[in-house]
Amino acid sequence: MLIRHRPDLTDNDVTDRGLYLRRREFITGVAGLGLAGLGGMASAAPLAFSKGFSTTEKPTPKDDVTSYNNFYEFGVDKGDPAENAGRLKTRPWTVRVDGACEAPKTFDIDALIKANKLEERIYRLRCVEGWSMVIPWVGFPLKDLIAAVKPTSKAKFVAFETLMRPSEMTGQKWDVLQWPYREGLRIDEAVHPLTLIAVGLYGETLPNQNGAPLRLVVPWKYGFKSIKSIIRISLVERQPPTAWNLSAPREYGFYSNVNPAVDHPRWSQATERRIGEFRRRDTLAFNGYGEWVADLYRGMDLKKFY
> Which residues have C-beta within 8 Å of that of residue 163, sequence separation ≥ 6?
73, 88, 169, 180, 229, 230, 231
| Helix, coil or strand: residue 204 | strand
Binding site for ligand MTE (CB under 6 A): 69-73, 125, 127, 162, 181, 210-211, 223-224, 226-229
Nearest to Mo ion of 225, 232 (CB atom):
225
Nearest to Mo ion of 127, 243 (CB atom):
127
Q: How big is the chain by its Cα radius of gyration, in Å? A: 18
Minimum distance from residue 13 beta carbon to ligand MTE (Å): 31
Minimum distance from residue 161 beta carbon to Mo ion (Å): 18
Minimum distance from residue 16 beta carbon to Mo ion (Å): 32
Nearest alpha carbon to residue 134 among 227, 54, 222: 54
**73 contact, one of ligand MTE, Mo ion, none, CB 5-8 Å limit per kind:** ligand MTE
**142 contact, one of ligand MTE, Mo ion, none, CB 5-8 Å limit per kind:** none
Nearest alpha carbon to residue 123 among 174, 198, 186: 198
Strand 230-236 relative to strand 94-99, pairing: parallel
Nearest alpha carbon to residue 119 among 136, 94, 107: 136
Nearest alpha carbon to residue 160 among 241, 69, 258, 221: 241
**72 contact, one of Mo ion, ligand MTE, none, CB 5-8 Å limit per kind:** ligand MTE
Nearest to Mo ion of 41, 216 (CB atom):
216
Minimum distance from residue 210 beta carbon to Mo ion (Å): 13
Minimum distance from residue 214 beta carbon to ligand MTE (Å): 11
Q: For the residues of 155-182, what is the DSSP string, one character each?
A: --EEEEEE---TTTSGGGGSTTS-SSPE
Binding site for Mo ion (CB under 5 A): 70, 127, 223-224
| DSSP conformational letter for 250 | T
Minimum distance from residue 85 beta carbon to ligand MTE (Å): 10
Nearest position to ligand MTE, beta carbon:
223
**214 contact, one of ligand MTE, Mo ion, none, CB 5-8 Å limit per kind:** none
**71 contact, one of Mo ion, ligand MTE, none, CB 5-8 Å limit per kind:** ligand MTE
